[in-house]
Amino acid sequence: MDKILTGISGLDEMLNGGIPKRRHVAVFGGPGCGKTSFSFEYLYHGAKDGQAGLYLTLEESPEDIIENMKEQFSDFKDIDSLIDKKMLFVEQPANYSVDAIMESLEKRIVENEVQRAVIDSSTMLKAMFEKESEYRRTIVEMFNLIKKLDCTVMVLVEADSSEKEKVIFNIEHYVLDGIFNIYNLDKGDRRIRALEIFKMRGTDHSRDLVPFKVTPSGIKIYTNEKVF
Ligand SMILES: Nc1ncnc2c1ncn2[C@@H]1O[C@H](COP(=O)(O)OP(=O)(O)O)[C@@H](O)[C@H]1O
Ligand SMILES: [Mg+2]
């Protein structure tokens, strides 16, 4: 099976070589856990490697995302130049609907051969629905459409809690091919960032909960360390 390297230090090793191509994954985490950083780095390494990437934001403005990521990853000096070269796109869909999201994705896939995409976030879509059942129907429909795309998509999902024990299974857990859970664990007087690959159809993978840091030169996952 073809795999797509994330380029994130330690992660490809945990995935036995990367995310299976065209399998779509969710990144779950509470606010501030690092979802944007994690998924942006996935696009960044792809863009450096000749695979164009699209970050579709429904929440923060594209300008804010770019500014934050340049600050967060200050060693990545070529973010602007990758954007200028049309290898990296940070955009908002025309509105908060599945149609608008799919239109934006398809446009970039056709026009710019985008091979990696991020949708930030499915939770934002949820806010558009009064009924939970309608949201479920819509999200399932969106994931079914995404499955047909020749692009490996990461969908960010806002968890209600950053505590490991309090995470509730959402519809996204069932529908997507792969799940990364990221946590901001409470360790007495400090918090530790941790990650686990909860599931990944199509490949064997590590099931360890491992600590990680966000550094100026990228996320570092400490694959041999334990959180507890
Ligand atoms: N310049 C920076 N250097 C290091 N850490 C930062 C920097 N800017 C923000 N952070 C940390 O990253 C967190 C936000 O990460 P982000 O990827 O945006 O999370 P999420 O998308 O899950 O909300 C902040 O809460 C903060 O702890
Ligand atoms: Mg974010």
Give per-residue pLDDT as tens, 104-152.
999 999 999 999 999 999 888 888 888 888 888 888 888 888 888 889 9
Residue 63, exposed/middle/buried by CB under 10 A (0-12, 13-18, 19+)? exposed
Please indicate, yes or no, if residue 228 is contained in any of the structural domains.
no
| Residue-number span of the structural domain to which 199 is assigned | 3-221
d(CA 171, CA 142): 12
How confident is the prediction for the chain on average, in pLDDT?
A: 92
Instruction: Say whether 41 sits in a helix, a strand or coil.
Output: helix
DSSP conformational letter for 184: E
Please identify, by atom number, the ligand 1 atom nearest to the C-alpha of residue 215: 4
Residue list, ligand 1 pocket, CB within 6 Å: 29, 31-37, 71-72, 214
Instruction: Report residue 10 as tokens.
Output: 């330690």
Please identify, by atom number, the ligand 1 atom nearest to the C-alpha of residue 38: 17
Please indicate, yes or no, if residue 53 is contained in any of the structural domains.
yes
Q: Which residue puts its alpha carbon closest to atom 4 of ligand 1?
A: 72
Series of mean pLDDT values for 10-residue runs along the chain (228 residues): 94 96 91 95 98 96 98 98 98 92 94 96 85 86 85 91 66 85 87 94 94 97 88
Please indicate, yes or no, if residue 210 is contained in any of the structural domains.
yes
Predicted pLDDT of residue 8? 97
Residue 32, exposed/middle/buried by CB under 10 A (0-12, 13-18, 19+)? exposed
Please indicate, yes or no, if residue 60 is contained in any of the structural domains.
yes
Contact 203, 25 (CB under 8 A): no
d(CA 223, CA 183): 15
Kindly report the CATH number assigned to the domain that includes residue 117: 3.40.50.300
Could you give phi then psi for residue 21, rounded to 5 degrees? -60, 140
Ligand 1 midpoint to CA 32 (Å):
6
Q: What's this model's pTM, rounded to 2 decimal places?
A: 0.94
Please indicate, yes or no, if residue 227 is contained in any of the structural domains.
no
Instruction: Say whether 183 sits in a helix, a strand or coil.
Output: strand
Please indicate, yes or no, if residue 215 is contained in any of the structural domains.
yes
Instruction: Report residue 211 as tokens.
Output: 């600590």
Contact 53, 201 (CB under 8 A): no
The total of structural domains in the chain comes to 1
Instruction: Say whether 180 sits in a helix, a strand or coil.
Output: strand
Contact 82, 40 (CB under 8 A): no
Contact 138, 125 (CB under 8 A): yes
Contact 106, 129 (CB under 8 A): no
- The candidate with the shortest Cα–Cα distance to 225, out of 8, 213, 18, is 213
Q: Strands 218-221 and 114-120: what pairing? A: unpaired
Predicted pLDDT of residue 166? 64
d(CA 78, CA 194): 28
Predicted pLDDT of residue 164? 67
Please identify, by atom number, the ligand 1 atom nearest to the C-alpha of residue 182: 22
Please indicate, yes or no, if residue 40 is contained in any of the structural domains.
yes
Q: Which residue puts its alpha carbon closest to atom 3 of ligand 1?
A: 72
Please indicate, yes or no, if residue 177 is contained in any of the structural domains.
yes
Instruction: Report residue 27 as tokens.
Output: 């990144």
Give the DSSP H/E element, type plus range, for residue 43. helix 35-48
